[in-house]
């Protein structure tokens, strides 16, 4: 097991841009291999992409769906195979692991769900995609997650040895209110497993990540699967980490790989002292309200 370091203001983050295929067992095995590689290279927080255990597409969600534990803590015998695999590799490597997302079935409904684990393998929390992709670009792209999926209605933030982390999934990037709520909760790092495509990705992926980072003055990472032009859905790739200044710290291309970025939390305080927009909010004129339970 990797040594669990004492808290400092800086740590290494790994974004795993996984090549996802049609065989779930192979996807889980390869994801675990990449988590081990990231841990061996000194990463303390590791993140996987959206739908890392299955092809991305409404036609696949039901076939690949699993149950997700209703309670936090060590997964019980009824947990799905993806949950068990993530818990095991997080514990083996001693890392905080954001398990991208998987298709979930719960009480007859289907969700796009992210599970996060601590270095002891315990489930820290679950985030079900709040904003479902419903896109119609004539002649280029038509995609409707609501045809199969139901939206989540809770947010997820959790503490690590370094900072609080907030979770969103893909299309949630387009709704800055979520990022603002996480900022108000005290998060200094936001992780968005995503699968932007080759139509919207070149224009919006980096733009949205950088904007979210700059507007909330915190670190934001987007974690994509690798691009496969033989698949029915063409992911954009280009996983990246942006700092509180809105600058891209590190970025991948479209191919499979691991992106490593140093998260220096002193940058959050430094940027906020230079441009103190948080203290300059006009709460007398507007508000951002978290209506969910924490």
Give the angle 21-173-70 at the CA atoms, nearest 5°: 65
For 110, other C-beta atoms within 10 Å of its C-beta total 18
The share of the chain scoring above pLDDT 70, in percent, equals: 97
187 catalytic, yes or no? no
pLDDT in tens, 81-134: 999 999 999 999 999 999 999 999 999 999 999 999 999 999 999 999 999 999
Taking 80 as the threshold, does the pLDDT of residue 1 lie above it? no
Parallel, antiparallel or unpaired: strands 164-167 and 187-194: parallel
Helix (H, G, I), strand (E, B) or coil at 180: helix
The CATH classification number of 2-279 equals 3.60.110.10
Q: Torsions phi, psi of 145, nearest 5?
A: -60, -35
Measured CA to CA, the distance from residue 81 to residue 90 in angstroms comes to 14
Three-state secondary structure of 74-119: CCCCCCCHHHHHHHHHHHHHCCEEECCCEEEEECCEEEEEEEEECC
Residue 282 is given by DSSP the state: -
Residue of 24, 34, 44, 129 marked catalytic: 129
pLDDT in tens, 43-56: 999 999 999 999 99
- What are the residue ranges spanned by the domains of the chain? 2-279
Taking 80 as the threshold, does the pLDDT of residue 293 lie above it? no
pTM of the model: 0.96
Which residues does 177 contact at the CB level (< 8 Å), separation at least 6? 288
262 catalytic, yes or no? no
50 catalytic, yes or no? yes
Residue of 51, 163, 170, 242 marked catalytic: 170
DSSP-derived secondary structure for 209-233: HHHHHHHHTSEEEEEEPPP-TTSSS
Rounded average pLDDT over 214-225: 98
**CA-to-CA separations, 76 to 68, 81, 225, in angstroms, rounded:** 10, 11, 28
The residue with tokens 């936090």 is 72
Three-state secondary structure of 54-75: CCCCHHHHHHHCECCCCCCECC
What's the chain's average pLDDT?
95
Give the angle 238-136-144 at the CA atoms, nearest 5°: 80
Residue of 44, 50, 66, 187 marked catalytic: 50
pLDDT in tens, 128-174: 999 999 999 998 888 899 999 999 999 999 999 999 999 999 999 99
């Amino acid at each position: 097991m990797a040594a669990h370091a004492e808290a400092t203001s800086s740590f290494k983050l790994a974004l795993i841009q996984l090549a996802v295929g049609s065989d779930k067992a192979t996807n889980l095995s390869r994801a675990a291999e990449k988590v081990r590689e990231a841990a061996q290279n000194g990463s303390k927080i590791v993140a996987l992409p959206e739908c890392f255990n299955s092809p991305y597409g409404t036609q696949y969600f039901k076939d690949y769906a699993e149950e997700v534990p209703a309670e936090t803590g060590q997964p019980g015998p009824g947990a799905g195979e993806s949950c068990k695999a993530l818990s095991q590799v997080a514990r083996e490597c001693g890392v905080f692991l954001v398990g991208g997302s998987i298709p979930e079935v719960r009480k007859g409904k289907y969700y796009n769900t992210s599970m996060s684990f601590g270095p002891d393998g315990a489930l820290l929390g679950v985030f079900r995609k709040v904003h479902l992709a419903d896109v119609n670009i004539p002649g280029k792209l038509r995609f409707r997650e609501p045809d199969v999926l139901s939206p989540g209605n809770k947010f997820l933030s959790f503490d690590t040895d370094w900072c609080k982390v907030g979770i969103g999934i893909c299309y949630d990037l387009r709704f800055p209110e979520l990022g603002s709520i996480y900022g108000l909760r005290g998060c200094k790092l936001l992780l968005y497993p995503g699968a932007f495509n080759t139509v919207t990705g070149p224009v919006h992926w980096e733009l949205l990540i950088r904007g979210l980072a700059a507007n909330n003055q915190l670190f934001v990472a987007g974690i994509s699967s690798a691009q496969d032009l033989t698949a029915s859905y063409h992911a954009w790739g280009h996983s990246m980490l942006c700092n509180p200044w809105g600058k891209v710290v590190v970025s991948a291309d479209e191919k499979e790989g691991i992106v490593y970025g140093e998260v220096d939390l002193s940058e959050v305080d430094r940027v906020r002292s230079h441009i103190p927009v948080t203290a300059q909010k006009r709460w007398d004129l507007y508000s951002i309200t978290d209506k969910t339970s924490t």
